[in-house]
Amino acid sequence: MSTTRRLAQLVVGLALFGASIALLVRADLGLFPWDVLHQGVARATGLPLGVVVILASVVVLVLWIPLRQRPGLGTVANVVLVGVFVDLTLAVLPTVEALPGRVALLVAGVVVNAAATGLYIGAGYGPGPRDGLMTGLAARGLSLRWSRLGIELVVLAAGFALGGTVGVGTVVYAFAVGPLVQPFLTLFTVPTRRSTDHASAESLPTTPGDRS
C-alpha cells in the first residue's frame, strides 16, 4: 500500500508542479527563476514551453555526471512529466486580462507549486534534476544556500535576457515558497521501511544495562 501511495503521490505531485508553472505563465506577473529561463528559450526558439522544460531537465541531468549524483525514479519522472503537464495545462487554461484574475492565478500558482513539491519530494523517489544539481554541488563542499542562490541568479539573468518574464511573481515565489513547502512536506511525507527502521533504532535504550 505504501508503494502505491508513493507512486500516486509522485505522479500527482509532478502533474501539479507542471500545472503551477502554467498558472504563473497565464498570470504574466513573473515566473520562478528556472521558468524565466525556460520561457526565454521557448520564445527565442519557438519551441513549446513544456518541451523546453524537458530538454533543460535532460541537460541539467547530464551535469550530474561529474558530480556523481545518482538519479532516482522521481528524478526521471520529473524530467518527463513536468514538461508534459505544463503544455497540457496551458492548452486548457485561458489567458486572463484582468489584474485581479492574474493575481489570483499568481497566488494559486505559488500555493500549488508548494503543495506539488511536498507531494513529489514526500514520495521519497529522489530529487528533481535542478535540486539534485544543487545538492551535488553542496556535497562537493559548497554551501547549499549559496549554490542555490548562485545558480538561480544565473538562470534568472539568462532567461530575462532571452525574454523571460520577471516580475512581482518572481519575488513572491522567492520569499513564499520555502515557508509554504515545509507544512506540505510534513503532511505528505510517506514513511518508508528505511525511515521506520531508523526511527525504531532511535527509540531503543542506549545504555548497556538497558539493552541486556
Q: How many CB atoms lie within 10 A of CB 108?
A: 16
| Residue 151, Cβ density class (10 Å: 0-12 exposed, 13-18 middle, ≥19 buried) | middle
Instruction: Look at residue 194 in the predicted model and tell me its pLDDT.
Output: 53
pLDDT at 122 over 50: yes
Cell of 192: 518508508
- pLDDT of res. 151: 86
Average pLDDT value over all residues in the chain: 86
Nearest to 184 by CA among 124, 102, 117: 117
- Report the share of the chain in percent with pLDDT over 70: 89
Range of the domain at 65: 2-211
- Polymer length in residues for the chain: 212
Tens-place pLDDT, residues 111-121: 999 999 999 98
Residue 198 — pLDDT band, cuts 50, 70, 90?
very low
Residue-wise pLDDT for 43-60, tens only, equals: 999 999 999 999 999 999
Total domain count, the chain: 1
Entry pTM: 0.85
Q: With beta carbons less than 8 A apart as the criterion, state whether 77 and 10 touch.
A: yes
For residues 57 and 64, is the Cβ–Cβ distance under 8 A?
A: no
Give the pLDDT score at 199. 37
For residues 12-30, average pLDDT: 97
For 107-166, what is the HEC assignment?
A: HHHHHHHHHHHHHHHHCCCCCCHHHHHHHHHHHCCCCHHHHHHHHHHHHHHHHHHCCCCC
Model confidence band, residue 211 (pLDDT cutoffs 50, 70, 90)? very low
What are φ and ψ of residue 118, in 5° steps?
-60, -40
* Local confidence band at 193 (pLDDT 50, 70, 90 cut-offs): low
Give the pLDDT band of residue 204 (cuts 50, 70, 90): very low
Position 127 scores a pLDDT of 83
Q: What is the pLDDT of residues 128-139, one digit of tens each?
A: 898 888 778 877
